[in-house]
Amino acid sequence: MWSLSQLLTFLQKFCVDESITQAELIEFIKLRYARVYNRALDFYKTEKTFATVSGTKFYYLDPEFNVSLGVKFFNQTSDNYKIKVKDREYIYDRDPNESETGTPRIAAYIELSYVKRQPNESSDAGTVGIKSTDSGDTGKAVTISGLRTVGSNLIEDSEEIETDGTAGTTFVAGTKTGWHTFRVVSKEEDTAGPIIVSDTDGGNVYAVLNPFGRRAEYQKWRLWPTADAAETIKVIGHRKPIVPQENSAALDVPTDIEAAFVHGLRSDIHDVNFDMIKSQKFEALFEEGLQTALENSMWGDGQELVEGSESRGRYDPLSDLEEVDEDIEVL
């Protein structure tokens, strides 16, 4: 698996524009990740656990989970049985007042939320602030918008808070109070570390903005019946590809599609250089590599190999990339 610095060296050597920067490469990598984002690639399978709280209906999944793919729930406390996924109307039809309590048997997706907690919960301090996990993130701005109480009125408002100018890990509190609902919490630029948004210095965390993300994405789910005791719930799904941050960080793709992925990056570089012939050529190689991975059962949710695919072999290893010359026929 190639590191970010090795990949940059390779692309600068074999692409027309040798001035491609690491920042530009990272942007191309993010675009290519988006191309495989909606695929249930076994390589990205993951699982997490969370604990139910007595009387709490709604739960927010870790933002690591891919929001474009489904998840499965299992109650580990109660013999690890599967919790069925239904729509919210299924719960309302059986419990219109949402008053039934007990051991959760049903999970229903509610919405995609930019925060995993709202500021109007009884234990919250009513203020909001930010800090980074990296001391070098100085003067990084986070914008918070939503509803807050001013006097007897509930008004639309927003506030921009910047991380400390000396040490990004120092908590900086906002000046506005009385927040009732956060609608959007976002930042406009990349950071070295995740930005934590909370009511006090790490007290109640509302959102964590990853270094290359502009907003956090939390899946909000309803468990029914409402838990009447603590239960350990396991969630199985697919994670998002991790964007490399350090020079030594590797591409977050399986070996089977690494060569195809790099061809896709070459296509992007030629595209911005207005060399459409080469861009189309490497785009075709990218698509061919993904198709080969499909045939070799790298995709799907534990499905059997496609008949006959065992003998077809895997796609070209990354070491063969240098042999792809300029005479390749455009498909």
Task: Look at residue 93 and tell me whether its pLDDT is greater than 50.
Answer: yes
Cα separation, 51 vs 39, whole angstroms: 29
**Weakest mean pLDDT among 17-26, 61-70, 165-174:** 17-26
Cα separation, 57 vs 220, whole angstroms: 10
**Weakest mean pLDDT among 10-14, 204-208, 260-264, 316-320:** 316-320
Please provide the size of the chain in residues: 331
Confidence (pLDDT) at 307: 36
Run of H or E residues at 156: strand 153-162
Amino acid identity of residue 284, one-letter, is A
Determine how many CB atoms are found less than 10 A away from the CB of residue 189.
9
Look at the block and give the residue holding tokens 């808070």: 161
46 confidence band (pLDDT: 50, 70, 90):
very high
In contact, 90 and 223? CB cutoff 8 Å? no
Task: Look at residue 192 and tell me whether its pLDDT is greater than 60.
Answer: yes
| Nearest alpha carbon to residue 223 among 64, 33, 95, 133 | 95
pTM for this predicted structure: 0.77
Q: What is the mean pLDDT of residues 152-180?
A: 94
Confidence (pLDDT) at 298: 52
Q: What is the mean pLDDT of residues 83-108?
A: 95
pLDDT, tens digit, for every residue of 270-309? 888 888 998 999 999 999 988 887 776 554 543 333 333 3
Cα separation, 249 vs 243, whole angstroms: 9
DSSP state of 108: E
Contacts for 62-65: CB closer than 8 Å, 24+ residues apart: 62/235, 63/116, 63/208, 63/210, 63/216, 63/217, 63/218, 64/239, 64/240, 65/219, 65/235, 65/237, 65/238, 65/239, 65/240
In contact, 295 and 39? CB cutoff 8 Å? no
16 confidence band (pLDDT: 50, 70, 90):
low
Task: Look at residue 125 and tell me whether its pLDDT is greater than 80.
Answer: no
Confidence (pLDDT) at 308: 35
Task: Look at residue 262 and tell me whether its pLDDT is greater than 70.
Answer: yes
What does each C-alpha distance from 48 to 39, 101, 117, 130, 211 come to in angstroms?
20, 24, 19, 26, 21
Cα separation, 322 vs 324, whole angstroms: 6
Task: Look at residue 1 and tell me whether its pLDDT is greater than 60.
Answer: yes
Strands 195-198 and 205-209, by their bridges, are: antiparallel
Percent with pLDDT over 90 in the chain: 52
Look at the block and give the residue holding tokens 């921009």: 160
Run of H or E residues at 221: strand 218-224
